[in-house]
Amino acid sequence: MAQQPGAQADAGETRPVCVDDLRQSAAARLAPAVWDFVAGGSGTESTLDANRTALDSVSLVPRVLAGIEKTDTGARLLGTSAALPLAVAPMAYQCLLHPEGERAAAQGALAAQVPFVVSTISSRSLEEIAEVGAPLWFQLYWLRDRGRMTELIRRAEQAGCQALMVTVDVPIMGRRLRDLRNEFTLPDWIRCANLEPDGLSAAHAHRPSESAVAAHTSIAFDSTFGWSDVEWIRAQTRLPLVIKGVLDPRDAETAVRLGADAVVVSNHGGRQLDGAPASVSALPWVVEAVGGQCQVLMDSGVRSGTDILRALALGADGVLIGRPVLWGLSTAGARGVAQVLSILRTELEEALLLSGCADLEAARTLRTLVAGARG
């Protein structure tokens, strides 16, 4: 398969020096329809693009003469100790990218000592992933089968997951034009391992001008869930509860009132409502609204240590890393994921030092300039 210059991370000849090197490597390796499934957003992809533009528009104002030699990137996210203020975002069907799928990605997270979030629709089961020994959180989608949801929560607890993350921005799957054009269909050997034996027949069945993954979602997911259902979930488990996919501060306030331990400010990597704001643009509102009553995480578009520092300076406690992990996974399995996370660590350490911050607490006191306004 064609290789682009600087993309031989697998061969060990040229080590990737930034996350984008692994993106290029993944783009050269993956089948075009799988690449599109990972890279694509919904509609015109305006929100997908906005995530990057908005992050790039946040300038960090460094402090000088701070007299520091080393920086400490250690964080505590929802009671889980992490070497970095980040977790690997929940992402479906990782066996599309590597035969070991989520097991390899979790090995990368273990090497980096950061939490790995298992998706409800992972292609390896919770239990198979837990064998790896990484710090795990479990992500729950709202299923039509409520009994199945309670069973999944019990399984997550038994597998040692340290938090439950409920994704609330997928009543239906956003209209992803690349997948529609590709008539994207999961190969037969991809499992929806946590939901067996129900199988994935809808996602395996090719339909003209349709995405089979979207078809499966509309069969399996319940679009009518509401805040009273979040109350129900809160009552089902003592695990820390995370609400993922919040952009409006009023929703963040409700999440806090109902007992959420964290919210994730997220537009699902630009894959749900096209036209939604960039996550980083919504972050300061949400931080202000929750007023320290719960942790605030952010995802969508984070690609460097500088981006992580931007999120921290705007008040986040940490970030989730999405697609870059899949780029590393498809390039070199567990080693590729570890490389992505190690690059982010090096970049964050350097950005902290260059901005005069000894640790994450200091990072939160940095000033920002956003599109000319003083932050």
Ligand X SMILES: Cc1cc2nc3c(=O)[nH]c(=O)nc-3n(C[C@H](O)[C@H](O)[C@H](O)COP(=O)(O)O)c2cc1C
Residues that bind ligand X (CB under 6 A): 38, 51, 89-92, 119, 121, 139, 167, 244, 266, 268-269, 299-302, 320-323
DSSP string across 303-360:
-SHHHHHHHHHTT-SEEEE-HHHHHHHHHHHHHHHHHHHHHHHHHHHHHHHHTT-SBH
CB of 296 to ligand X, least distance (A): 15
In terms of CB distance, is 246 or 362 closer to ligand X? 246
In terms of CB distance, is 73 or 139 closer to ligand X? 139
Scanning the structure block, which residue is given the tokens 């000088």? 64
Closest CA to 310 of 23, 85, 116: 85
Active site residue 268: yes
CB of 268 to ligand X, least distance (A): 5
- The C-alpha atoms of residue 97 and residue 80 are separated, in whole angstroms, by 28
In terms of CB distance, is 124 or 268 closer to ligand X? 268
SS3 104: helix
Strands 241-246 and 262-265: parallel
In terms of CB distance, is 97 or 334 closer to ligand X? 97
CB of 32 to ligand X, least distance (A): 15
- The C-alpha atoms of residue 311 and residue 283 are separated, in whole angstroms, by 8
Exposed, middle or buried: residue 8 (CB in 10 Å: 0-12, 13-18, 19+)?
middle
In terms of CB distance, is 249 or 322 closer to ligand X? 322
CB of 158 to ligand X, least distance (A): 21
CB of 38 to ligand X, least distance (A): 5
Q: Are 73 and 347 in contact (CB under 8 A)?
A: no
Residue 39: other Cβ atoms inside 10 A: 18
CB of 169 to ligand X, least distance (A): 8
Q: Exactly one of 204, 206, 216, 268 is catalytic; name it.
A: 268
Closest CA to 255 of 166, 130, 372: 166
* Residue closest to ligand X, measured at CB: 322
In terms of CB distance, is 128 or 299 closer to ligand X? 299
- The C-alpha atoms of residue 93 and residue 313 are separated, in whole angstroms, by 33
As annotated, the active-site residues are 268
